[in-house]
Each structure stands twice: as C-alpha cells, then as structure tokens.
Amino acid sequence: MIQVLSSRRPAAVLPMLALAFAFLWTPAARAQDTPPPPTCDATTLTGKYLMKVNGSYYDSQFYVYLLALTGFYTFDANGGLSGGDTISNDGTIGRRTVTGTYTVNADCTGSIVITGSDKLVLHADIVIDNAKGISLVGTDNLTVISGTGAKQ
C-alpha cells in the first residue's frame, strides 16, 4: 500500500524554519562577548621591563656585526626611559647605561629610541601587549633587529 503524504505537512514546517532562521540571524543572537579594542597612550608603559634584543647590522662598508643585549629599562609613563643592559656587540661584551624616548599610539603601537652610553642608538617600532609586554623590530637602515620586553 502506498501512502500519499499531505502537501500541507511540508508547508507547516516552512514557517517554523523561517522563524528559527530569523532568530539565529538577529543581532542579539549573533552578538559575541568580544572585548573592546585596546586603547593605549604613554601611561600604558610604566615601570620596569626586562628587555632582550638580538640581531645584526651592517657598517658603511657592508661588514656585518652581530648584536645581542639584555637588561632592565624603566619607562616613566611620560615618553622617557632609562636603565642599563649588558650588550654583546659582535662578541665584545660591555655593560652600559641607557636613556631613551618612546611614543605610544591609541592602537598600542608606537616607536622607541634607545641610546646607550657606548653611543650605539637603536630606533624601533613597538607593539604593546596589554601593558605586560613589548615586541620591537629595528627600523634603522642596514639593521635586522628584533626583541621583547616583559613587565617586571
């Protein structure tokens, strides 16, 4: 025996599917608990950070030199920094004091200039991670330098 389905039964399902589809696509149903984007300024960087930088640079005759440093830098929340580090400049080890300046944009990017007592100057772009850490990449010509800083 063949049973014939009523054509009304599928039609009754369509309004239920349409209602479910409409519910799933409402703004309240799609809203996610995403935090607002971070906002930063110079006060985002304050206190002591453990800095590590590695890389290489070229001189005017295109000889390559390896560079590594680590130390503590204190950011003053006003665009200034000071501290000290130990540096290996192509295998020559030195301890130096550093001073510098930094800027911070609202999107938590910025720039930094670090000047050592050995007269070596590093320019870098930075990204701040919730005021807990810093990533940096050198922006001087003929350099390949990157580093991190961790809030202490």
pLDDT tens-digit series, residues 68-115: 999 999 999 999 999 999 999 999 999 999 999 999 999 999 999 999
14: amino acid identity, one letter: L
Highest mean predicted confidence (pLDDT) among 15-19, 32-36, 105-109: 105-109
Among 89, 68, 82, CA closest to 145:
68
Place 35 in a pLDDT band, splitting at 50, 70 and 90: confident
CB 100 within 8 A of CB 75: no
12 pLDDT more than 60: no
What pLDDT does 40 receive?
94
Interval 123-144: pLDDT, tens:
999 999 987 999 999 999 999 9
What pLDDT does 36 receive?
74
- The answer to whether domain 42-151 has CATH 2.40.128.120 is yes
The least confident of 15-29, 50-64, 66-80, 93-107 is: 15-29
pTM of the model: 0.74
* Beta partners for residue 122, in sequence order: 114
* Beta partners for residue 145, in sequence order: 55
